[in-house]
């Protein structure tokens, strides 16, 4: 397909690379032109100077940008040039509200919009092993899946526009609680004078086992927090969760508390530390 890709950051750059490797005809745009130029040197394709030029003539336009306002701006510009029948696939983590707005706006102009937030972090993007939660109309989702297959480990159509973003909120609720539990466990291990390696070997074989434990226990115990998804990004995502919960009446007390803990990590200078840095606030004394 003819694919445009907007946003070549930590996640978007590798994802676009998998699309190029899969044989799609790529045009890319990044707010920092140097990053787009470097991507083209590595992967081929064309670096466009504007969103509109990246979107013109494309079958599918993929977004991996920062927030709701970024998505609104990109979609508004892209819809002026995207061919009728084209699909916009948004991998940005946003509110469900903006996903519904963009779907309605796109449909009114004869295009489709699919919200498709991802889980798996930088490693998942680089290895082409992302889990993708999808909201949108069935025909548009089927078209999007042909593109997303290049970097997906799993794809699940969750329902109408916005359902993908709501599912990503569930994902972040789960992560927040698990990582806080691990942080407390690591800190307790330290205070109790136990060997963290032996503790991991003992408890990871039972009901306490999780992906977070297998991949972050050892580095948390060492105070190493340089493994991908940043605290600033997690706080943005948890803010979306809390906003949605206020609207739908869901009780997310633990999530709200962990969000406050991440604010404390930010105050320690950990804005770009990864999410496992919840341990830092417990092990600082």
Closest to 40 (Cα-Cα) out of 54, 20, 57: 20
Residues 92, 109: Cα–Cα separation, whole Å: 22
Q: For 118, phi and psi rounded to 5 degrees?
A: -125, 160
Closest to 151 (Cα-Cα) out of 15, 39, 26, 21: 15
The DSSP code for 230 is B
Strand partners, 27: 4, 46
Q: How far is CA 67 from the centre of its chain?
A: 11
The DSSP code for 274 is B
The burial class, CB within 10 Å (0-12 / 13-18 / 19+), for 66 is middle
Residues 241, 175: Cα–Cα separation, whole Å: 12
Mind telling me the catalytic residues? 168
Residues 16, 9: Cα–Cα separation, whole Å: 10
**Residues whose CB is less than 8 angstroms from the CB of residue 247 and which lie 6 or more positions away in sequence, other chains included:** none
């Amino acid at each position: 397909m003819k694919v445009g890709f907007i946003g070549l950051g930590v996640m978007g750059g590798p994802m676009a690379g998998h699309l190029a490797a899969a044989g799609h005809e790529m045009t890319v745009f990044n707010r920092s032109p140097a990053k787009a130029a470097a991507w083209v040197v590595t992967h081929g394709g064309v670096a466009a100077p504007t969103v509109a030029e990246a979107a013109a003539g494309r079958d599918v336009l993929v977004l991996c940008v920062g927030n709701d306002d970024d998505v609104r701006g990109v979609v508004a510009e892209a819809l002026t040039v995207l061919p009728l029948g084209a699909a916009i696939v948004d991998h940005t983590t946003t509110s469900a509200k903006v996903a519904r707005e963009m779907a309605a706006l796109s449909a009114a102009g004869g295009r489709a919009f699919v919200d498709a937030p991802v889980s798996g972090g930088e490693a998942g993007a680089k290895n082409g092993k992302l889990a993708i939660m999808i909201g949108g109309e069935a025909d548009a989702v089927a078209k999007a899946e042909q593109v997303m297959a290049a970097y997906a480990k799993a794809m699940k159509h969750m329902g109408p526009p916005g359902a993908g973003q709501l599912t990503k909120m569930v994902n972040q609720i789960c992560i927040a609680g698990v990582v806080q539990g691990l942080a407390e466990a690591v800190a307790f291990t330290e205070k109790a004078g136990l060997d963290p390696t032996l503790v991991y070997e003992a408890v990871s074989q039972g009901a306490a086992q999780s992906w977070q434990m297998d991949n972050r226990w050892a580095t948390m115990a060492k105070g190493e927090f340089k493994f991908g998804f940043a605290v600033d990004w997690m706080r943005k995502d948890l803010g979306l969760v809390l906003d949605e919960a206020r609207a739908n009446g869901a009780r997310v007390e633990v999530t709200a508390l962990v969000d406050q803990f991440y604010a404390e990590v930010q105050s320690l200078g950990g804005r770009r530390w990864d999410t496992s840095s919840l341990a830092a606030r417990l092990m600082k004394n």
